[in-house]
Amino acid sequence: EAGVTQFPSHSVIEKGQTVTLRCDPISGHDNLYWYRRVMGKEIKFLLHFVKESKQDESGMPNNRFLAERTGGTYSTLKVQPAELEDSGVYFCASSLTGARDEQFFGPGTRLTVL
Amino acid sequence: SQQGEEDPQALSIQEGENATMNCSYKTSINNLQWYRQNSGRGLVHLILIRSNEREKHSGRLRVTLDTSKKSSSLLITASRAADTASYFCAKVYTGRRALTFGSGTRLQVQP
């Protein structure tokens, strides 16, 4: 069974540009999460989807970030326009709904904004 | 902050020794999970302990949870060079599903 995949693995863009990150969760996982780790800081939660619905978006830093999960399968996270402080590693995770809360993480996308 | 603290921030030991990492939190949790991250790679789930559990084992890993002290510890026994990584404690607070990560412990196991 394939794990959580993320694309791209690295992205280097200039300030003001737009970047879209993609996450493909494990097949059958209704829950999808986005996290990020900016330089020198802790891994922080961004938002949580249950199928196609946003269950918790309390961690989204501002309205330059837009996450979607159309059809309840893969998800995209768009940053528009990107700022220098957006640089970091963006992780996606997925989990089953039910008794187990284990989240399976993807390898992350390293975003560098110049 | 609800993120709590992890200690030590860094730990260097010799192969064969045990490594202990600690984690604290501030408010009521549903469960607490430990993850490992090898340099430049994704997070790997190690073990989950629920709020009504006090101790869990998985291979060479032992996790304890003390809800009265709001703390947890991860013990890696008979460490190996391959255990070198960063270890993170992540809390699932009551009423939420998101993970709240600590700052992590960087473990170096010398061969």
Confidence category of residue A1, pLDDT binned at 50, 70, 90 = low
Out of A2-6, A48-52, A94-98, least confident range: A94-98
Question: Are B89 and B23 in contact, with CB atoms under 8 Å apart?
Answer: yes
In CATH, the number for domain B6-110 is 2.60.40.10
Encoded amino acid at B67, one letter: T
3-class secondary structure per residue, A37-53: EECCCCCEEEEEEECCE
- The Cα–Cα gap between A4 and A74 comes to 10
Please give the domain boundaries of chain A with CATH numbers for all domains: 5-96+106-113 (2.60.40.10)
Q: Does A105 touch chain B (CB under 8 A)?
A: yes
Nearest to B45 among A35, A55, A104 (CB): A104
Q: Which residues from A are below 8 Å from B103, CB to CB?
A: 42
Structure token pair of residue B13: 């030991």
Closest Cα to residue B57, out of B75, B36, B71?
A: B75
Domain spans in chain B, listed from the N-terminal domain onward: 6-110
Let me know the angle formed at the C-alpha of B12 by B8 and B14, rounded to the nearest 5 degrees. Answer: 140
Interface test with chain B among A30, A91, A105, by most B beta carbons within 10 Å: A105
Confidence category of residue A36, pLDDT binned at 50, 70, 90 = very high
Are the beta carbons of A91 and B42 separated by less than 8 Å?
yes
Structure token pair of residue B100: 């709240």
Q: Which residue has the higher pLDDT, A33 or A96?
A: A33
- pLDDT for B1 equals 44
- The Cα–Cα gap between A16 and A10 comes to 18
Q: How many CB pairs under 8 A join A and B?
A: 56
For the cut 90, the answer to whether the pLDDT of residue A65 exceeds it is yes
